[in-house]
Chains A and B, each alone.
Chain A
Amino acid sequence: MDKFIHSVKLDTNACNGCINCIKYCPTQAIRVRNKKAAIIPEFCVDCGRCIRYCPHHAKIPAYDSVHEMKNYKYTVALPAPSFYAQFNNLTNVDIVLNALLSLGFDDVFEVSAAAELVSELTRVYISQHSENAPFISSACPTVVRIIRVRFPTLLPRLLPIKAPVEIAAEIARDRAIKKTGLPSEDIGIFFISPCPSKVTYAKAPLGIRKSNIDKVLAMKEIYPLLLPHMTHDETHLKPLASSGRIGIGWGGSGGESAGLLTDNYLAADGIMDVLRVLNDLEDEKFHDLNFIELNACSGGCVGGTLTVENPHVAASKNKRLHRYLPVAQTHLNQYPDLESGWTEEVEYEPVFRLGKSFRESLEMMGMVEELTEQLPGLDCGSCGAPTCRALAEDIVRGEATQNDCVHILYDYINSLTGEIASLTKSLDLSEKQNNQSLKLLEEYIEKLTTELTRKDL
């Protein structure tokens, strides 16, 4: 699988080539070319910001269809901790879990149960490696992806433990194989996800070679299908819930940290705040921290682009739901054979590097500086790049030209016009000369038309 896939699609009919997404993208991964927004795959970290901000809903999150269930003999649903907070007045997680069975899944395994294992593993890991603290949570795939391309010195700080959803998938698959005797490929592990970043993760995970998740479903698609299967009569529910405060708390920002039972942590959410924290962490501006929890979405996973409930409402529902639950209900001693650590090293991918070598990059950077000076500095986005500097970089990379800048183009047209005006004035008005000036005028108009057509204004 390609290292740089992402889970944002473009509805080309809906995209009108405006500049909203290019301005909101935190990694400057989008350019408007030929009136359509195009993502540079190497730069995209699947934060979902363009999906949120596109006023035309042209940015579409990718996810699998619920109909994929038909393609497996045995299916297991893995609801994310943030899923429960989508429902109104939910007092018992078993209502949701039983509804998933009624909808057609053969089994369920809560990601929040696996999260309690990850919390336990993290506590052990930090206490054994305290000299290298603080560690950064690796549960949000967007955070791992942005560190991979932007913060090479922070890679060793990533917690080398599988994300809760991966551990849930592994346990669920094992359990299904033991129970049914079916071969692995007949078993479908379906994650019910709050975000498209996990869609990318399932296809191209970092830290492990291959994910045990087969399909990633959107909460917003499952939600309306599940409602008719939910019951108010709790007497006939199968007892399936196996997570407590810690596990369900993972659904919101600060939840993972709360599971570590330490005060020396920092929890930041929202991709812009995440970037600020990573920058400061790189400059060693934090002291005495053990753990750094980062979630790309505001509010944590409850703020994902595939959720239905307002993230702030969901955050409080999440708290209400787990307030009176036991601290944790799933423990490591129940899973002695669990393989929980990362198996692959996450390597730095210097995608933002200008040239192939330092010398080449140095020279290109000089050109970028020079070009940036010449551009108007308005960051208007009309060229399709988010800032004048980004355009300068695109020009130096050979992916744009200076006349993509409308202001430079106007100046150019202006100078052409001035040139032709003074030329025609200086010519004699004899018939022979008149022909020549006509020819010059024709040439000018042709040049102008070519420029304007190319620009496709």
Chain B
Amino acid sequence: MAENLTFRYKISGDDFTRAGEASSNVKSKLKQMGVDNNAIRKVAIAMYEGEINMVIHANGGTITVEISSDNIHLVLADTGPGIADIEKAMREGYSTAPEEVRSLGFGAGMGLPNMKKYSDNMTIESVVGVGTTVTMDIHL
């Protein structure tokens, strides 16, 4: 019997209009599985923010969603520019998003703070010039 269930998504970096598709897909699957509504909401928002970040900053990446009976574990990995100052990046309102992205209503500097807010545990590993891996847990 399968104890854990894993979904993998490849996030394309060149198309803004498709950002959010993966989190939306996860959301509908979690609903079908009868996951607690509040947990679904947290996963959807945290993952959506991460997905948008990948599109804006890192030219895409991969998202792995691992569901077990008491936890949802998200791994968002990219090979983008990396985050020079993680502490600064975690500050609400701090953003390095380019102007054309902000004009679309993104890049308000709430991405990482929201991911932290909506997850029960979050880690960021980042090397400038190599890439960033964010992991998040949402307990069930």
Contact = CB atoms under 8 A, between A and B. Distances in A.
Interface of A: 150, 152-153, 279, 282-284, 348, 350, 352-355, 357-359, 361-363, 365-366, 369, 393
B33 A361 contact: yes
A350 B41 CA distance: 16
A369 B69 CA distance: 17
A365 B41 contact: no
In this complex, the member of A150, A283, A354 whose beta carbon has the largest number of chain B beta carbons within 10 angstroms is A283
Nearest to B24: A279
Contacts of B40: 153
A45 to B, nearest CB: 15
A352 B30 CA distance: 11
Contacts of B20: 283
A352 B2 CA distance: 21
Contact of B1 (A152, A353, A361, A363): A363
Contacts of B31: 150, 350, 352-353
Contacts of A150: 31
B37 A152 contact: yes
A369 B67 CA distance: 13
B33 A365 contact: yes
Contacts of A348: 37
B111 to A, nearest CB: 13
B69 A354 contact: no
Interface string B35-49: 101101100110010
Contacts of A358: 33-35, 69, 140
B69 A361 contact: no
B91 interface: no
Contacts of B34: 350, 353-355, 357-358, 361
Interface of B: 1-2, 5, 7, 20, 23-24, 27, 29, 31-35, 37-38, 40-41, 44-45, 48, 67, 69, 140
A284 B2 contact: no
Nearest to B2: A366
Contact of B32 (A152, A359, A361): A361
Contacts, number: 59
Contacts of A366: 2, 5
A135 to B, nearest CB: 18
Contacts of A283: 20, 23-24, 27, 44-45, 48
Contacts of A362: 2, 5, 33, 67, 69
Contacts of B38: 153
Given A284-B45, A366-B2, 5 more contacts: A358-B34, A359-B69, A361-B34, A362-B5, A363-B2
Given A283-B44, A359-B69, A354 B5 contact: no
Nearest to B35: A358
Given A282-B44, A283-B44, A358-B69, A369 B5 contact: yes
A354 B69 CA distance: 15
A152 B40 CA distance: 10
A311 B11 CA distance: 40
Nearest to A155: B37
Contact of A282 (B2, B41, B67, B69): B41
29 contacts: A152-B37, A153-B37, A153-B40, A279-B27, A282-B27, A282-B41, A282-B44, A283-B44, A284-B45, A350-B31, A350-B34, A352-B32, A353-B31, A353-B33, A354-B32, A354-B33, A355-B34, A358-B69, A359-B69, A361-B32, A361-B33, A362-B2, A362-B5, A362-B33, A362-B67, A362-B69, A363-B1, A365-B29, A393-B32
B4 to A, nearest CB: 8
A457 B82 CA distance: 57
A357 B20 CA distance: 28
Given A283-B20, A348-B37, A359-B69, A365 B32 contact: yes
In this complex, the member of B23, B33, B38, B140 whose beta carbon has the largest number of chain A beta carbons within 10 angstroms is B33
A114 B80 CA distance: 58
Contacts of A357: 34
B29 to A, nearest CB: 6
B44 A365 contact: no
A358 B67 CA distance: 11
B24 to A, nearest CB: 6
A410 to B, nearest CB: 29
Contacts of A350: 31, 34
Contacts of B32: 352-354, 361, 365, 393
Nearest to B41: A153
B33 to A, nearest CB: 4
A316 to B, nearest CB: 32
Contacts of B29: 365
A291 B64 CA distance: 36
Contacts of B35: 358
Nearest to A287: B105
A358 B5 CA distance: 12
B66 to A, nearest CB: 11
